[in-house]
Structure 1
């Protein structure tokens, strides 16, 4: 059984704070479900944008896991803001979380799948 998005995002926020980082929920979506997008800001200003991984990334043995893919990296987050606005129009139930990782890299916090 897959956990609710609300619970998963709360756990992500706690893991980030536990690693010495900072996290904020920018947009709260549907409690039970909803796609999660994460903006990871580095200490030097770089931003990495993560979104749900394609369905082909999921293993039939663990269909309830939540995987992410890197959607882009830049020093300017305005392109990502525009993408998020399009995603909100398509699905108003999305979640947007911004994180600044502490001692743990974002790839470990998010279960990132390579493309």
Structure 2
């Protein structure tokens, strides 16, 4: 792949869903964003318990990393819903993908970064 080529957001999200399913977990798209370049947020769960919200962000090496974003899980679902609503108002093209699998952050980092 040429150095300036990159995978689309839709392809990355699809790969993430397949990897999680292959590991016996559950992945669902809560909000479908821009197919080409939408920002990807990952809501990580472990057996239904919130483990945090992560965003795929560019890093200084020209690649990507996952960064924790939004409220801490202890702040509750209302704080998370308010954060997501604010983000969607400012960026209607973003994706939100929920992963329910042990070590969901690792799955996301290995797949979309």
In the superposition, the TM-score normalised over structure 1's length comes to 0.79
**Structure 1 runs of 4+ off > 3 angstroms?**
none
Unaligned runs of 5+ in 2: none
Partner residue, 1:27:
31
1:47–1:77 contact (8 Å) kept in structure 2: no
1:56-92: CA deviation from partner (whole Å, max 9, x where unpaired): x331xxx2x3321112431422212111111111111
Number of corresponding residues: 104
In the superposition, the TM-score normalised over structure 2's length comes to 0.80
Which protein is richer in helix relative to its size? 2
Q: Over the residues paired in the alignment, what is the CA RMSD in angstroms?
A: 1.9
**Matched residue SS, 1:87:** helix
2:40–2:96 contact (8 Å) kept in structure 1: yes
1:30-62: CA deviation from partner (whole Å, max 9, x where unpaired): 111110111111226233111133x4x331xxx
Partner residue, 2:106:
108
Structure 2 CA distance for partners of 1:46 and 1:10, relative to 1, 3 Å = same
Q: Distance in 1 between matches of 2:27 and 2:92?
A: 21
Aligned positions of 1:12-91 closer than 5 A: 12-43=16-47, 45-53=49-57, 55=58, 57-59=59-61, 63=62, 65-71=63-69, 72-75=71-74, 76-91=76-91
